[in-house]
Amino acid sequence: MLSTLGGFVWASAWSGIGEGPYTLAAKILSANNLRTRYLRKGILWRQGKGASLLDPCPTSNDEMAAALGRVLHQASLAARIPRLYKELATDRELRYCTKCISSGYQAAIAQIPGIDRCPIHGEIHRNTCIHCGAKTQPYFLDDDHLPSFSCNKCGYPLGGDLLIDRRVDAWATPEHVDRLDPIHLWLERVNGSKDIHWVNVSGWSATRQSPEGTRDHTRYAVFGVLRSRLLPDEAVPESNLDQKPEVFGPFPLAQGAKSSPDLTQAEYDSILSRIALPTDLQQYRKHFRTPSFGVAVPVTPLVSPHLHAHLIWRAQFEKVTSFYSESYSRSAFCSVAIPQLLNTTMNQLEVPISNRSISEGILTATWTASLKIAIEWHQMQISFDELPIAEAERRWLIAVDQWANRLGCWRDRNYFPIAVIKVKDTITGEDQLYFVVA
C-alpha cells in the first residue's frame, strides 16, 4: 500500500481515469477513518448544504485537507467542462452503474442524465437502491452523511451482494475504462467550442413538468441538442429521451439586420392578425376559468389542446395582467416583448426581428412550446374526469397553481421554454441562430 496523498493512506490501484469525486471521497475517508466534516477544511462548504460534488471547490484553509480538496475537484465535471456542467449534470442524487460501483468506482459522467447507460458495461445508470428502491443520497458532501457504496436507507450494497465500504481489497478500477474516452473528448469539444454561444441556457426550461422540481428534462435536452445537432459525434451514445427537442434553424444573422431591428407596420399587423382570438372560442367560453395570472385555462378536456395552445401563445405577445390584456406598440414589441420572451434582455445578443425568417422562427417556436404545454394539460384533464367532482376541482386548483408559470405569460413568471443558440458557421464565418423547444 502506497501513501500518495501527502500522508493519507492511499493506493494508486483504488482510482482510475474518469472516476468522479463521490467514490474517491468515500475511499479516502473510509481508508483514513475520517468523517465527512474533515473536508470542510479543504473544500468550500455552503451553509446548510455542504459541497456539491459537481464542483467541490478546493480551499487553502488546511494544507492536508486542501490536498484532498484538489484531488476531488480535479475529478469533478466542473474541472472537465466548466462552461456547461450545471446544465448537463445533476447533483440531486447519485447516479451509478451497479457493475462499476461493485468495485468502488463511479464515473463522473454518470451524473449527466443524458448518458443513460454506462459506457463501460452498458448497464443503466440508476438513482435508486436495487434492493429497497430508495433514492440514492444527493451528490453532495455534508456533515451528516458519509459517502458510501451502500444504500443510505437499507444498507444493502448498491453493486450487489458484497459489502465493500471498508473492504479496501475490493476497491479496483473496472476494465475497459478507455470506453469513457469518446465522451471525455466530446466534452472537451463542447467546452472548448468558441463557435457556439448558448445565450439563455441557465434560465431555459423544458415544457414538461419535471418530477420533484428537477431540471432533468432540460438537461436531457441540452445534451441531446449538443450531441445530435451542434456537435454531433457518433462515438457518443444518444440519450433515450422519449420526446426529442425540436430545433428551428439555422437562421442567418445578416450583417445589416442589427441596424434596423423594427418590424414594418405591415409585418406587425400580420403578426397581430395571426395571434387574434380564434373564432370558435365563443362556444367554449363556459369551459374556461381565468386565474389571477390573466390567461384563461380549460376546466374540461372538451376544449381541444389546439384552442388552449392559441391562448397561451397569444399571451406571450401581449401585456397580460389579471384585469386586462393589450397589444404592445410596434417598437415595444421588437425591443421589449421578444427579448423578454427569449430571456435575452440582459445579453449582448440583439435579436433582429426585421429578419423575416427569424421572426417566423420565434413565432413557430413559441407556438410549439404552447402546444406541448396544452397537450400535457389536456391529458391531465382527461385523468380528472374519472374523479368525483369535488376531488377533480381540488386537483384542478392545485395543478393551476403548480403550472402557473407555463399556463400564463411566461416572461412575467421567469419561465423561458425557448432556448436561443448563436452559432458561427465554421465554413462561411456567418453567425446563425437556432431556437430549441423541449
Asked whether the predicted pLDDT for residue 311 surpasses 90, the reply is yes
For 307, residues 6+ apart whose C-beta sits below 8 A from its C-beta are 278, 280, 281, 284
Average pLDDT over residues 343-369: 79
Average pLDDT over residues 213-241: 90
Average pLDDT over residues 377-402: 93
Amino acid at 346: M
| pLDDT tens column, 126-148 | 999 999 999 999 999 988 778 99
Q: How confident is the model at residue 119 (pLDDT cuts 50, 70, 90)?
A: very high
Closest to 418 (Cα-Cα) out of 374, 370, 381, 377:
370
Average pLDDT over residues 403-410: 95
Least confident of 84-88, 226-230, 280-284: 280-284
Asked whether the predicted pLDDT for residue 252 surpasses 60, the reply is yes
Mean pLDDT of the chain: 89
Parallel, antiparallel, or unpaired for β 288-289 and 297-298? Answer: antiparallel
Asked whether the predicted pLDDT for residue 225 surpasses 60, the reply is yes
pLDDT for the residue numbered 259: 47
Q: How confident is the model at residue 347 (pLDDT cuts 50, 70, 90)?
A: low
Least confident of 105-114, 160-169, 255-264, 276-285: 255-264
Distance CA 340, CA 299 (A): 29
Asked whether the predicted pLDDT for residue 35 surpasses 80, the reply is yes
Asked whether the predicted pLDDT for residue 222 surpasses 60, the reply is yes
Question: CB count, 10 Å around CB of 235?
Answer: 10
pLDDT for the residue numbered 349: 57
pLDDT for the residue numbered 120: 97
Q: How confident is the model at residue 350 (pLDDT cuts 50, 70, 90)?
A: low
Asked whether the predicted pLDDT for residue 300 surpasses 90, the reply is yes
Q: How confident is the model at residue 427 (pLDDT cuts 50, 70, 90)?
A: confident
Average pLDDT over residues 39-50: 84
Distance CA 326, CA 319 (A): 5
Tell me the β-bridge partners of 126.
Answer: 96
Average pLDDT over residues 424-437: 89
Cis peptide before 250 (omega within 30 of 0): yes
**pLDDT above 70: percentage of residues in the chain:** 94
246: cell is 425540436
Asked whether the predicted pLDDT for residue 3 surpasses 70, the reply is no
pLDDT for the residue numbered 255: 54
**pTM summary value:** 0.89
